[in-house]
A and B are shown apart, each in its own frame.
Chain A
Amino acid sequence: MSDSIKRHHPGASLSRLVECGNLVFVAGTTADNKSANCKAQTEEVLKKIDRLMDEAGTNKSRILWCNVWVSDIREKEQMDAAWQAWVDPDNKPARATVESRLATPDTRVEIMMICAK
């Protein structure tokens, strides 16, 4: 059996979002405005993810699994404030948040997820 795979915004190294069967994989997403604080970067990331999920015909109520990386775990509360204001209260995904060194020193948060279509 081979479900067809649809790749959105494929670049040289990665696709921003990949659909296969009834699952949608969102690539690690970061903010463009790197001068913003962790909360504002998270808000921007979540807006970007909303748009990507919309392109794949799904939305935040269908998120299954989520990885959050922050560059400083002491800023997790800022990320959580933006998350809490955004997440569908009736459909919260399984999630883990850890601190890692991210691609640039001013990248404060990166989010990756798996959603159902």
Chain B
Amino acid sequence: MGDIVRHNPERKLSDAVEYNGLIYLAGQVAEQLDAGMKEQTEDVLRQIDALLAKCGSSKSRILTATVYVNDMTLKPQMDQAWLAWVDQANPPARATVEVQLGSPETLVEIMCVAAKA
């Protein structure tokens, strides 16, 4: 399937999939799970930056993002990290909802679709 490029195919999933000008990212969680919501979000956004760079894109090209938080009362902390990071000239469509994540210490997970550069 040469028209589809899959990055970091791990045991269950790929971290990023490129097809027809779009980049689909898997849900990213922080590597440092003992950190607070703001730090975990910064960690996740760094990983998204790295994945987008690998696919020849960047945060200015994100189209849509879904942010999952495990506690909606911590959303302002997530937003603080997001606001410091997001390209103010090119903010994506975004939704934030509260769910239970893969482990109790996982506070945030972000999934997005970006256009290639």
Which residues does A use to contact B, with CB under 8 Å?
A: 22-23, 61-62, 64-67, 73, 76, 80, 83-84, 87, 90-100, 114, 116
Contact = CB atoms under 8 A, between A and B. Distances in A.
Interface string B4-24: 101001111111110110001
B33 interface: no
A68 B3 CA distance: 25
A93 B12 CA distance: 8
A114 B16 CA distance: 13
B12 A80 contact: yes
B27 A96 contact: yes
A84 B99 contact: no
Contacts of B14: 92-94
Contacts of B10: 92
A73 B27 CA distance: 15
B37 interface: no
Nearest to B111: A96
Contacts of A97: 27, 102
Given A92-B12, A95-B27, 12 more contacts: A62-B1, A65-B113, A73-B100, A87-B12, A92-B10, A95-B12, A95-B13, A96-B66, A98-B101, A98-B109, A116-B3, A116-B4
B115 interface: no
A94 B102 contact: no
Interface in B7-64: 9-17, 19-20, 24-27
A64 B24 contact: yes
Given A91-B4, A92-B9, A93-B13, A65 B102 contact: no
A23 B19 CA distance: 10
A102 to B, nearest CB: 11
A94 B17 contact: yes
9 contacts: A23-B20, A64-B17, A84-B11, A90-B9, A94-B16, A96-B109, A99-B101, A100-B100, A116-B20
Contacts of A92: 6, 9-10, 12-14
A114 B1 CA distance: 16
B100 A98 contact: yes
A117 B10 CA distance: 23
